[in-house]
Structure 1
Amino acid sequence: MAPSDSDSVEAYCERIADAEPSARDALAGDLQRYVLTDLPRWIEVTDDAVQAIAPFVDADSPTVRATAVFVLRYVAEFDPDRLTFERSRAATPVLEAFEDADRRVRQVATNPFNTGTLVSDALEDDAFRPKSKAWVAETLLERLREPVPVVRKRAAWHVEKNAVALGAAHPDVESVVAALVDAFEDPLDANAPDRRARSPRYAALRALEALAPVEPGSVSNHVDAVAAFLDDDRLGVPNRAEGVLVSLHEAGCLSGSDAPEAVDDFPDDR
Protein backbone atom coordinates (compact mmCIF):
# COMPACT_ATOMS: atom_id res chain seq x y z
CA MET A 1 0.00 0.00 0.00
CA ALA A 2 1.40 3.41 -0.96
CA PRO A 3 1.86 5.84 1.97
CA SER A 4 -0.73 8.57 2.41
CA ASP A 5 -0.39 12.03 3.96
CA SER A 6 -1.82 10.66 7.19
CA ASP A 7 0.84 7.98 7.52
CA SER A 8 3.64 8.08 10.07
CA VAL A 9 5.62 5.57 12.08
CA GLU A 10 3.35 6.24 15.04
CA ALA A 11 0.23 5.79 12.93
CA TYR A 12 1.45 2.44 11.62
CA CYS A 13 2.39 1.22 15.12
CA GLU A 14 -1.02 2.17 16.45
CA ARG A 15 -2.78 0.47 13.53
CA ILE A 16 -0.87 -2.74 14.26
CA ALA A 17 -1.82 -2.51 17.93
CA ASP A 18 -5.50 -1.92 17.14
CA ALA A 19 -5.82 -4.45 14.30
CA GLU A 20 -7.22 -7.95 14.37
CA PRO A 21 -4.39 -10.53 14.52
CA SER A 22 -5.13 -11.66 10.97
CA ALA A 23 -4.50 -8.14 9.63
CA ARG A 24 -1.27 -7.41 11.49
CA ASP A 25 1.16 -9.12 9.10
CA ALA A 26 0.20 -6.84 6.22
CA LEU A 27 0.37 -3.74 8.39
CA ALA A 28 3.76 -4.79 9.79
CA GLY A 29 5.12 -5.19 6.27
CA ASP A 30 3.72 -1.77 5.36
CA LEU A 31 5.50 -0.17 8.31
CA GLN A 32 8.89 -1.64 7.37
CA ARG A 33 8.49 -0.58 3.74
CA TYR A 34 7.37 2.90 4.82
CA VAL A 35 10.60 3.45 6.73
CA LEU A 36 13.01 1.64 4.42
CA THR A 37 11.93 3.61 1.37
CA ASP A 38 12.76 6.89 3.16
CA LEU A 39 15.10 6.42 6.12
CA PRO A 40 14.71 9.95 7.54
CA ARG A 41 11.24 8.81 8.57
CA TRP A 42 12.89 7.35 11.69
CA ILE A 43 12.61 10.87 13.07
CA GLU A 44 8.87 10.17 13.30
CA VAL A 45 9.39 7.57 16.03
CA THR A 46 7.66 8.77 19.19
CA ASP A 47 7.19 7.38 22.67
CA ASP A 48 3.61 6.54 21.76
CA ALA A 49 4.81 4.59 18.72
CA VAL A 50 7.27 2.58 20.77
CA GLN A 51 4.75 1.96 23.54
CA ALA A 52 2.25 0.69 20.95
CA ILE A 53 4.61 -1.72 19.19
CA ALA A 54 6.73 -2.97 22.11
CA PRO A 55 4.32 -5.69 23.32
CA PHE A 56 4.45 -7.36 19.91
CA VAL A 57 7.99 -8.67 20.41
CA ASP A 58 6.12 -11.69 21.79
CA ALA A 59 3.58 -11.94 18.94
CA ASP A 60 2.87 -15.32 17.41
CA SER A 61 3.56 -13.96 13.94
CA PRO A 62 7.27 -13.77 13.00
CA THR A 63 6.50 -10.84 10.70
CA VAL A 64 4.95 -8.86 13.53
CA ARG A 65 7.75 -9.84 15.95
CA ALA A 66 10.34 -8.75 13.40
CA THR A 67 8.61 -5.40 12.96
CA ALA A 68 8.52 -4.80 16.70
CA VAL A 69 12.25 -5.50 16.83
CA PHE A 70 12.70 -3.26 13.78
CA VAL A 71 11.28 -0.30 15.74
CA LEU A 72 12.80 -1.13 19.12
CA ARG A 73 16.30 -1.52 17.71
CA TYR A 74 16.17 2.14 16.64
CA VAL A 75 15.71 3.14 20.27
CA ALA A 76 18.25 0.59 21.53
CA GLU A 77 20.91 1.63 19.02
CA PHE A 78 20.54 5.39 18.81
CA ASP A 79 18.85 6.25 22.16
CA PRO A 80 17.39 9.51 20.82
CA ASP A 81 17.14 12.29 23.40
CA ARG A 82 13.61 13.17 22.37
CA LEU A 83 12.31 9.82 23.64
CA THR A 84 11.71 8.88 27.26
CA PHE A 85 11.37 5.15 26.50
CA GLU A 86 14.32 3.58 28.32
CA ARG A 87 17.10 2.27 26.13
CA SER A 88 17.56 -0.88 28.22
CA ARG A 89 13.86 -1.66 27.97
CA ALA A 90 14.14 -1.55 24.18
CA ALA A 91 17.51 -3.32 24.08
CA THR A 92 16.58 -6.47 25.99
CA PRO A 93 14.04 -7.85 23.47
CA VAL A 94 16.27 -6.82 20.56
CA LEU A 95 19.17 -8.83 21.95
CA GLU A 96 16.87 -11.75 22.79
CA ALA A 97 15.72 -11.69 19.17
CA PHE A 98 19.25 -12.78 18.18
CA GLU A 99 18.09 -16.28 19.11
CA ASP A 100 14.48 -16.06 17.91
CA ALA A 101 13.12 -19.25 16.37
CA ASP A 102 12.40 -17.50 13.06
CA ARG A 103 15.15 -16.46 10.66
CA ARG A 104 13.38 -13.22 9.72
CA VAL A 105 13.45 -11.97 13.29
CA ARG A 106 17.11 -12.95 13.73
CA GLN A 107 18.00 -11.20 10.49
CA VAL A 108 16.39 -7.93 11.63
CA ALA A 109 17.96 -8.12 15.08
CA THR A 110 21.52 -8.87 14.00
CA ASN A 111 21.82 -6.13 11.35
CA PRO A 112 25.12 -4.43 12.33
CA PHE A 113 24.05 -1.05 10.95
CA ASN A 114 21.26 -0.95 13.50
CA THR A 115 22.68 -2.91 16.44
CA GLY A 116 26.45 -2.38 16.24
CA THR A 117 26.63 0.15 19.07
CA LEU A 118 24.03 -1.76 21.08
CA VAL A 119 26.10 -4.95 21.07
CA SER A 120 29.34 -3.14 21.88
CA ASP A 121 27.75 -1.28 24.78
CA ALA A 122 26.14 -4.44 26.11
CA LEU A 123 29.58 -6.07 26.26
CA GLU A 124 31.57 -3.10 27.56
CA ASP A 125 29.41 -0.61 29.43
CA ASP A 126 28.93 -1.68 33.06
CA ALA A 127 26.11 0.84 33.46
CA PHE A 128 24.17 -0.69 30.55
CA ARG A 129 23.00 -4.23 31.25
CA PRO A 130 20.05 -5.23 29.07
CA LYS A 131 21.44 -8.79 29.27
CA SER A 132 24.45 -10.13 31.09
CA LYS A 133 27.77 -9.74 29.32
CA ALA A 134 28.28 -13.50 29.40
CA TRP A 135 24.88 -14.06 27.77
CA VAL A 136 25.72 -11.62 24.96
CA ALA A 137 29.10 -13.25 24.37
CA GLU A 138 27.68 -16.77 24.31
CA THR A 139 24.81 -15.75 22.03
CA LEU A 140 27.16 -14.15 19.49
CA LEU A 141 29.28 -17.30 19.34
CA GLU A 142 26.15 -19.40 18.92
CA ARG A 143 25.16 -17.26 15.93
CA LEU A 144 28.51 -18.15 14.31
CA ARG A 145 26.94 -21.60 13.94
CA GLU A 146 23.71 -20.06 12.61
CA PRO A 147 22.15 -22.05 9.72
CA VAL A 148 21.04 -18.93 7.80
CA PRO A 149 23.99 -17.43 5.85
CA VAL A 150 23.03 -13.75 6.10
CA VAL A 151 22.53 -13.99 9.86
CA ARG A 152 25.82 -15.84 10.23
CA LYS A 153 27.64 -13.11 8.29
CA ARG A 154 26.06 -10.40 10.42
CA ALA A 155 26.98 -12.23 13.60
CA ALA A 156 30.54 -12.54 12.30
CA TRP A 157 30.74 -8.74 12.05
CA HIS A 158 29.68 -8.37 15.69
CA VAL A 159 32.17 -11.01 16.82
CA GLU A 160 35.05 -9.41 14.95
CA LYS A 161 34.31 -5.88 16.11
CA ASN A 162 33.98 -6.94 19.74
CA ALA A 163 36.56 -9.70 19.95
CA VAL A 164 38.45 -8.48 23.00
CA ALA A 165 35.31 -7.53 24.95
CA LEU A 166 33.68 -10.83 23.98
CA GLY A 167 36.71 -12.76 25.20
CA ALA A 168 36.65 -10.87 28.49
CA ALA A 169 32.92 -11.36 28.97
CA HIS A 170 32.79 -15.07 28.17
CA PRO A 171 33.33 -17.42 31.12
CA ASP A 172 35.70 -19.61 29.10
CA VAL A 173 38.07 -17.82 26.73
CA GLU A 174 39.39 -21.16 25.45
CA SER A 175 35.94 -21.94 24.06
CA VAL A 176 35.83 -18.49 22.43
CA VAL A 177 39.08 -19.18 20.59
CA ALA A 178 37.90 -22.68 19.68
CA ALA A 179 34.67 -21.30 18.22
CA LEU A 180 36.65 -18.83 16.12
CA VAL A 181 38.89 -21.58 14.83
CA ASP A 182 35.82 -23.68 14.02
CA ALA A 183 34.63 -20.75 11.87
CA PHE A 184 37.67 -21.33 9.62
CA GLU A 185 35.64 -24.16 8.08
CA ASP A 186 32.75 -21.88 7.14
CA PRO A 187 32.42 -21.82 3.34
CA LEU A 188 30.80 -18.39 3.13
CA ASP A 189 32.59 -15.62 1.29
CA ALA A 190 31.78 -11.90 1.10
CA ASN A 191 31.93 -9.46 -1.80
CA ALA A 192 34.70 -7.58 0.02
CA PRO A 193 36.50 -8.39 3.29
CA ASP A 194 35.32 -5.38 5.29
CA ARG A 195 31.63 -5.30 4.47
CA ARG A 196 29.12 -5.44 7.31
CA ALA A 197 28.10 -8.88 6.05
CA ARG A 198 31.39 -10.55 6.93
CA SER A 199 32.83 -13.83 5.81
CA PRO A 200 32.90 -15.76 9.10
CA ARG A 201 36.34 -17.12 8.19
CA TYR A 202 37.78 -13.65 7.67
CA ALA A 203 36.03 -12.27 10.75
CA ALA A 204 37.43 -15.13 12.85
CA LEU A 205 40.97 -14.32 11.74
CA ARG A 206 40.46 -10.63 12.52
CA ALA A 207 39.05 -11.55 15.93
CA LEU A 208 42.03 -13.80 16.70
CA GLU A 209 44.37 -11.03 15.58
CA ALA A 210 42.73 -8.76 18.18
CA LEU A 211 42.74 -11.45 20.87
CA ALA A 212 46.32 -12.60 20.36
CA PRO A 213 47.94 -9.75 22.35
CA VAL A 214 45.58 -10.22 25.33
CA GLU A 215 45.09 -14.01 25.24
CA PRO A 216 48.28 -15.23 23.56
CA GLY A 217 48.36 -18.54 25.38
CA SER A 218 44.90 -19.54 24.15
CA VAL A 219 45.47 -18.34 20.58
CA SER A 220 48.93 -19.92 20.29
CA ASN A 221 47.38 -23.37 20.66
CA HIS A 222 46.03 -22.94 17.11
CA VAL A 223 49.10 -21.71 15.23
CA ASP A 224 48.91 -24.47 12.63
CA ALA A 225 45.26 -23.75 11.82
CA VAL A 226 46.07 -20.05 11.38
CA ALA A 227 49.22 -20.71 9.34
CA ALA A 228 47.21 -22.78 6.87
CA PHE A 229 45.75 -19.52 5.55
CA LEU A 230 49.10 -17.92 4.72
CA ASP A 231 48.88 -19.19 1.14
CA ASP A 232 45.14 -18.58 0.77
CA ASP A 233 44.20 -16.71 -2.41
CA ARG A 234 41.16 -14.90 -1.00
CA LEU A 235 41.44 -11.16 -0.57
CA GLY A 236 42.84 -10.14 2.80
CA VAL A 237 42.96 -13.63 4.32
CA PRO A 238 46.76 -14.20 4.23
CA ASN A 239 47.36 -10.75 5.72
CA ARG A 240 45.04 -11.46 8.61
CA ALA A 241 46.66 -14.84 9.26
CA GLU A 242 50.08 -13.24 9.27
CA GLY A 243 48.77 -10.57 11.63
CA VAL A 244 47.75 -13.26 14.14
CA LEU A 245 51.19 -14.87 14.00
CA VAL A 246 53.03 -11.57 14.31
CA SER A 247 50.91 -10.69 17.36
CA LEU A 248 51.82 -14.03 18.93
CA HIS A 249 55.50 -13.39 18.24
CA GLU A 250 55.27 -9.94 19.82
CA ALA A 251 53.59 -11.52 22.86
CA GLY A 252 56.51 -13.93 23.19
CA CYS A 253 54.49 -17.03 22.28
CA LEU A 254 56.05 -17.71 18.89
CA SER A 255 59.75 -17.49 18.09
CA GLY A 256 61.21 -16.74 14.68
CA SER A 257 62.52 -20.27 14.42
CA ASP A 258 59.03 -21.65 15.03
CA ALA A 259 57.29 -19.34 12.56
CA PRO A 260 55.90 -20.79 9.33
CA GLU A 261 58.14 -20.16 6.33
CA ALA A 262 55.39 -18.23 4.56
CA VAL A 263 55.58 -15.39 7.09
CA ASP A 264 57.57 -12.61 5.43
CA ASP A 265 60.60 -11.26 7.31
CA PHE A 266 59.58 -12.84 10.60
CA PRO A 267 62.27 -11.99 13.19
CA ASP A 268 64.48 -14.84 14.39
CA ASP A 269 64.71 -13.56 17.94
CA ARG A 270 62.06 -12.89 20.52
Structure 2
Amino acid sequence: MSAAVRDRIAVVTSEIVTAVGCFAAGLVVILGIPGVADGLRAAIQALFGRPVLPPDQAKVALSLALTPIATLFGALLYDRLGRVIEPGPLPPLVPAAQLPRLPRAATISLVYLGAAVVGSYTLGFLMQLLGAPVAEQPLVLDLVAAGGPALSSLVFSALVLAPLGEELFFRGLLFRRVAHRAGMWPGLATSALLFAVFHGNIHGLVIYFWLGLVFAGAYVATGRLSCAVAVHFGNNAITLLALLTERATGGQS
Protein backbone atom coordinates (compact mmCIF):
# COMPACT_ATOMS: atom_id res chain seq x y z
CA MET A 1 0.00 0.00 0.00
CA SER A 2 1.47 3.34 -1.05
CA ALA A 3 1.93 6.27 1.30
CA ALA A 4 -0.66 8.27 -0.67
CA VAL A 5 -3.31 5.58 -0.17
CA ARG A 6 -2.50 5.33 3.53
CA ASP A 7 -2.82 9.11 3.85
CA ARG A 8 -6.23 9.06 2.15
CA ILE A 9 -7.46 6.27 4.40
CA ALA A 10 -6.25 8.20 7.45
CA VAL A 11 -8.03 11.35 6.27
CA VAL A 12 -11.29 9.53 5.57
CA THR A 13 -11.14 7.73 8.91
CA SER A 14 -10.47 10.92 10.86
CA GLU A 15 -13.30 12.77 9.11
CA ILE A 16 -15.74 9.92 9.74
CA VAL A 17 -14.83 9.82 13.43
CA THR A 18 -15.11 13.60 13.70
CA ALA A 19 -18.44 13.73 11.85
CA VAL A 20 -19.98 10.90 13.88
CA GLY A 21 -18.75 12.45 17.11
CA CYS A 22 -20.21 15.86 16.25
CA PHE A 23 -23.53 14.35 15.20
CA ALA A 24 -23.67 12.35 18.45
CA ALA A 25 -22.90 15.52 20.40
CA GLY A 26 -25.74 17.28 18.61
CA LEU A 27 -28.13 14.49 19.60
CA VAL A 28 -26.95 14.67 23.21
CA VAL A 29 -27.48 18.44 23.37
CA ILE A 30 -30.89 18.47 21.68
CA LEU A 31 -32.36 15.18 22.89
CA GLY A 32 -30.38 14.45 26.05
CA ILE A 33 -30.16 17.70 28.03
CA PRO A 34 -33.28 18.09 30.19
CA GLY A 35 -35.53 20.89 29.05
CA VAL A 36 -34.06 21.42 25.57
CA ALA A 37 -36.06 18.73 23.81
CA ASP A 38 -39.20 19.59 25.80
CA GLY A 39 -38.91 23.23 24.80
CA LEU A 40 -38.48 22.39 21.13
CA ARG A 41 -41.36 19.92 21.26
CA ALA A 42 -43.55 22.61 22.82
CA ALA A 43 -42.60 25.02 20.03
CA ILE A 44 -43.41 22.43 17.35
CA GLN A 45 -46.75 21.64 18.99
CA ALA A 46 -47.52 25.36 19.21
CA LEU A 47 -46.98 25.59 15.45
CA PHE A 48 -48.80 22.45 14.35
CA GLY A 49 -50.86 21.25 17.31
CA ARG A 50 -50.59 18.09 19.37
CA PRO A 51 -50.48 14.88 17.31
CA VAL A 52 -53.42 12.53 17.84
CA LEU A 53 -51.21 9.52 18.51
CA PRO A 54 -50.43 7.26 21.47
CA PRO A 55 -48.07 9.14 23.84
CA ASP A 56 -45.01 7.00 23.10
CA GLN A 57 -45.57 7.22 19.35
CA ALA A 58 -46.19 10.97 19.52
CA LYS A 59 -42.89 11.45 21.35
CA VAL A 60 -41.02 9.49 18.69
CA ALA A 61 -42.85 11.39 15.95
CA LEU A 62 -41.71 14.73 17.34
CA SER A 63 -38.18 13.35 17.46
CA LEU A 64 -38.31 13.20 13.66
CA ALA A 65 -38.32 16.99 13.72
CA LEU A 66 -35.74 17.21 16.51
CA THR A 67 -33.18 14.99 14.77
CA PRO A 68 -32.61 17.46 11.87
CA ILE A 69 -32.23 20.22 14.47
CA ALA A 70 -29.61 18.07 16.20
CA THR A 71 -27.95 17.61 12.80
CA LEU A 72 -27.77 21.38 12.37
CA PHE A 73 -26.19 21.73 15.80
CA GLY A 74 -23.78 18.91 14.97
CA ALA A 75 -22.85 20.73 11.77
CA LEU A 76 -21.93 23.84 13.75
CA LEU A 77 -19.71 21.73 16.00
CA TYR A 78 -18.18 19.98 12.99
CA ASP A 79 -17.41 23.30 11.33
CA ARG A 80 -15.73 24.67 14.47
CA LEU A 81 -13.76 21.50 15.13
CA GLY A 82 -12.78 21.24 11.47
CA ARG A 83 -11.24 24.70 11.62
CA VAL A 84 -9.12 23.52 14.55
CA ILE A 85 -8.01 20.37 12.70
CA GLU A 86 -7.19 22.31 9.55
CA PRO A 87 -7.16 26.10 10.06
CA GLY A 88 -8.50 28.32 7.33
CA PRO A 89 -11.59 28.18 5.13
CA LEU A 90 -12.18 25.34 2.70
CA PRO A 91 -11.66 26.29 -0.95
CA PRO A 92 -14.88 26.56 -2.99
CA LEU A 93 -15.90 23.59 -5.11
CA VAL A 94 -16.27 25.91 -8.10
CA PRO A 95 -14.41 29.25 -8.38
CA ALA A 96 -16.77 32.20 -8.12
CA ALA A 97 -16.01 33.28 -11.70
CA GLN A 98 -17.06 29.84 -12.98
CA LEU A 99 -20.32 29.51 -11.08
CA PRO A 100 -23.23 28.87 -13.46
CA ARG A 101 -25.86 31.58 -13.59
CA LEU A 102 -29.04 30.94 -11.64
CA PRO A 103 -31.16 29.80 -14.65
CA ARG A 104 -28.52 27.24 -15.61
CA ALA A 105 -28.07 26.17 -11.99
CA ALA A 106 -31.84 25.68 -11.73
CA THR A 107 -31.84 23.56 -14.89
CA ILE A 108 -28.97 21.44 -13.57
CA SER A 109 -30.85 21.00 -10.30
CA LEU A 110 -33.92 19.75 -12.16
CA VAL A 111 -31.78 17.21 -14.01
CA TYR A 112 -30.36 15.93 -10.73
CA LEU A 113 -33.84 15.85 -9.20
CA GLY A 114 -34.93 13.65 -12.08
CA ALA A 115 -31.91 11.42 -11.49
CA ALA A 116 -32.78 11.16 -7.79
CA VAL A 117 -36.39 10.17 -8.42
CA VAL A 118 -35.86 7.87 -11.41
CA GLY A 119 -32.82 6.24 -9.82
CA SER A 120 -34.64 5.65 -6.53
CA TYR A 121 -37.64 4.02 -8.20
CA THR A 122 -35.39 1.95 -10.46
CA LEU A 123 -33.34 0.69 -7.53
CA GLY A 124 -36.52 -0.03 -5.58
CA PHE A 125 -37.90 -2.04 -8.51
CA LEU A 126 -34.67 -4.01 -8.91
CA MET A 127 -34.49 -4.78 -5.19
CA GLN A 128 -38.08 -5.99 -5.26
CA LEU A 129 -37.20 -8.33 -8.13
CA LEU A 130 -34.31 -9.64 -6.02
CA GLY A 131 -36.66 -10.37 -3.13
CA ALA A 132 -35.49 -7.50 -0.93
CA PRO A 133 -38.25 -4.88 -1.31
CA VAL A 134 -37.61 -1.38 -0.02
CA ALA A 135 -40.01 -0.28 2.71
CA GLU A 136 -40.60 3.21 4.03
CA GLN A 137 -39.98 3.63 7.75
CA PRO A 138 -43.14 2.45 9.62
CA LEU A 139 -43.34 5.64 11.70
CA VAL A 140 -43.43 7.79 8.56
CA LEU A 141 -46.33 5.72 7.25
CA ASP A 142 -48.12 6.08 10.61
CA LEU A 143 -47.73 9.88 10.54
CA VAL A 144 -49.06 10.07 6.99
CA ALA A 145 -52.03 7.90 7.97
CA ALA A 146 -52.71 9.99 11.10
CA GLY A 147 -52.93 13.28 9.18
CA GLY A 148 -53.50 16.53 11.07
CA PRO A 149 -50.71 17.87 13.32
CA ALA A 150 -48.68 14.65 12.99
CA LEU A 151 -48.59 15.00 9.22
CA SER A 152 -47.88 18.74 9.42
CA SER A 153 -44.83 18.19 11.63
CA LEU A 154 -43.63 15.46 9.24
CA VAL A 155 -43.97 17.80 6.26
CA PHE A 156 -42.09 20.57 8.07
CA SER A 157 -39.32 18.18 9.04
CA ALA A 158 -39.03 16.53 5.60
CA LEU A 159 -39.27 19.68 3.49
CA VAL A 160 -37.50 22.28 5.64
CA LEU A 161 -35.41 20.91 8.49
CA ALA A 162 -34.02 17.77 6.85
CA PRO A 163 -32.84 19.35 3.57
CA LEU A 164 -31.16 22.22 5.42
CA GLY A 165 -29.56 20.22 8.23
CA GLU A 166 -28.51 17.18 6.22
CA GLU A 167 -27.11 19.11 3.27
CA LEU A 168 -25.09 21.41 5.50
CA PHE A 169 -23.70 18.46 7.46
CA PHE A 170 -23.16 15.80 4.79
CA ARG A 171 -22.43 17.86 1.68
CA GLY A 172 -21.41 21.28 2.94
CA LEU A 173 -18.97 19.87 5.51
CA LEU A 174 -18.27 16.13 5.33
CA PHE A 175 -18.17 15.88 1.53
CA ARG A 176 -16.21 19.10 1.04
CA ARG A 177 -13.68 18.28 3.73
CA VAL A 178 -12.99 14.75 2.50
CA ALA A 179 -12.94 15.87 -1.15
CA HIS A 180 -10.47 18.65 -0.30
CA ARG A 181 -8.19 16.45 1.80
CA ALA A 182 -8.46 13.05 0.07
CA GLY A 183 -10.02 13.59 -3.36
CA MET A 184 -13.41 13.87 -5.03
CA TRP A 185 -14.30 10.16 -5.18
CA PRO A 186 -13.48 9.44 -1.53
CA GLY A 187 -15.57 12.50 -0.65
CA LEU A 188 -18.54 11.28 -2.68
CA ALA A 189 -18.38 7.73 -1.33
CA THR A 190 -17.82 8.70 2.31
CA SER A 191 -20.56 11.32 2.50
CA ALA A 192 -23.07 9.09 0.66
CA LEU A 193 -22.33 6.10 2.90
CA LEU A 194 -22.70 8.04 6.15
CA PHE A 195 -25.83 9.72 4.78
CA ALA A 196 -27.33 6.28 4.10
CA VAL A 197 -26.38 4.87 7.50
CA PHE A 198 -27.66 8.03 9.22
CA HIS A 199 -31.23 7.29 8.10
CA GLY A 200 -31.28 3.96 9.92
CA ASN A 201 -33.41 2.21 7.29
CA ILE A 202 -31.56 -0.96 6.34
CA HIS A 203 -34.12 -1.74 3.63
CA GLY A 204 -33.45 1.61 1.96
CA LEU A 205 -29.67 1.71 2.39
CA VAL A 206 -28.89 1.42 -1.33
CA ILE A 207 -31.42 4.10 -2.25
CA TYR A 208 -30.15 6.52 0.40
CA PHE A 209 -26.59 5.92 -0.82
CA TRP A 210 -27.74 6.78 -4.35
CA LEU A 211 -29.47 9.92 -3.12
CA GLY A 212 -26.33 10.96 -1.25
CA LEU A 213 -24.36 10.68 -4.50
CA VAL A 214 -26.99 12.66 -6.43
CA PHE A 215 -27.21 15.48 -3.89
CA ALA A 216 -23.41 15.78 -3.83
CA GLY A 217 -23.40 15.69 -7.64
CA ALA A 218 -25.78 18.64 -7.75
CA TYR A 219 -23.46 20.51 -5.40
CA VAL A 220 -20.40 19.75 -7.54
CA ALA A 221 -22.13 20.60 -10.82
CA THR A 222 -23.41 23.97 -9.63
CA GLY A 223 -20.98 24.93 -6.86
CA ARG A 224 -24.03 25.97 -4.84
CA LEU A 225 -25.07 24.14 -1.68
CA SER A 226 -28.49 25.72 -2.13
CA CYS A 227 -28.95 23.59 -5.26
CA ALA A 228 -28.28 20.42 -3.27
CA VAL A 229 -30.84 21.63 -0.72
CA ALA A 230 -33.34 22.26 -3.52
CA VAL A 231 -32.85 18.79 -5.02
CA HIS A 232 -33.20 17.22 -1.56
CA PHE A 233 -36.37 19.25 -0.98
CA GLY A 234 -37.81 18.22 -4.33
CA ASN A 235 -37.08 14.54 -3.76
CA ASN A 236 -38.70 14.59 -0.32
CA ALA A 237 -41.69 16.51 -1.67
CA ILE A 238 -42.26 13.94 -4.42
CA THR A 239 -41.93 11.08 -1.92
CA LEU A 240 -44.45 12.70 0.43
CA LEU A 241 -46.81 13.38 -2.46
CA ALA A 242 -46.65 9.70 -3.43
CA LEU A 243 -47.41 8.63 0.15
CA LEU A 244 -50.31 11.08 0.40
CA THR A 245 -51.70 9.90 -2.93
CA GLU A 246 -51.49 6.30 -1.75
CA ARG A 247 -53.27 7.29 1.45
CA ALA A 248 -56.03 9.09 -0.47
CA THR A 249 -56.60 6.14 -2.81
CA GLY A 250 -56.45 3.58 -0.04
CA GLY A 251 -53.24 2.04 -1.39
CA GLN A 252 -54.79 1.19 -4.75
CA SER A 253 -52.59 1.61 -7.82
Asked if these proteins are the same fold (TM beyond 0.5), I'd say no
Q: Which has the higher contact order (CA 8 A, sep 6+)?
A: 2
Greater helix fraction, Structure 1 or Structure 2: 2
- Compare CA radii of gyration and give the structure with the larger one: 1
Q: TM-score range by the shorter chain?
A: under 0.3
